[in-house]
Amino acid sequence: MRPLKTVPEEGERAGRHRPLRALRQGFTLAWRSLLKIRHSPDQLLDLSLIPITFVVLFTFLFGNAVAGNWHAYLRYVLPGVAVQALVFSSMNTAAGLNSDVRSGIYDRFRSLPVARAAPLIGRVLGDVVRNAICLLVVLAVGAVLGFRPHAAPLSVLAACGLILLFSLSVCWPAALVGLLARSPESVGGFSFVLIVPLTFGSNVFVPTGQLPGWLQAWVRINPVTRLSDAARGLMLDLPLGRTVPISLLWTAAIAVVFAPLAVLAYRRRT
């Protein structure tokens, strides 16, 4: 007796287009996560207070000691602080994802006709938009303090795009931390251990040549250092060397390694 032919489900009929379908649904869920800001404006405090604190605190704390003049130091430090602020902002991805998984919201998504990876993609894309707001706040505070780019507008936009692209790649290891951590408290500990060596062990605040010799080897290979140099070069019309292609390589490498790991951890957790 021949087995009866079953009608293919929607997911099977759309099998060929599943990646595109997941991405489209991810954009929809990203918009959903951004709508929360309208109903909870207090979420904007994290996006504004952290970059404002970084710019003001480090400019006036280290300005005279490093450059002898905080005005001159502001030109050096602001592009690097923009990178640092967005890396720190990735902690929101880890904490928010861990909270969502524990609350059971992703179990509800599984009962809907959406791609399984769409909620994770939506979370990451929504946080990239938040990072863009954070970057705008950094540039606005820098402009108030007197920072003026010396490059053409297209170069400044290229620097901002490079920083945002890097923030997108960093969201994936942050998502992995949020999925592997067993509690919100452990998310903060894991994120701190990963982020502090990247941001403070770089040339964001002090030129590499002024750092101790044992630290310079790490600083030179640090992706945050490469990105900070590229952003400075693009914004201030300085020699770029190979900083831009190296930054793009780091960005791609982080995404290629951690995005599949985050998706795998997400599938196992949900």
* Alpha helices, H only, the chain: 10-13, 18-39, 43-67, 70-103, 105-110, 118-145, 153-180, 184-200, 213-221, 223-236, 243-269
| pLDDT score of 9 | 43
117 vs 150 pLDDT, higher one: 150
**Count of CB atoms within 10 A of residue 28's CB?**
13
Mean pLDDT of the chain: 81
Quote the percentage of the chain above a pLDDT of 70: 86
**pTM of model > 0.95:** no
Please write the tens of the pLDDT for every residue from 99-139: 777 777 766 776 677 777 777 788 888 888 888 888 998 99
Please write the tens of the pLDDT for every residue from 37-59: 666 666 667 667 878 888 888 88
User: Is residue 12 pLDDT above 60, yes or no?
Assistant: no
User: Is residue 11 pLDDT above 70, yes or no?
Assistant: no
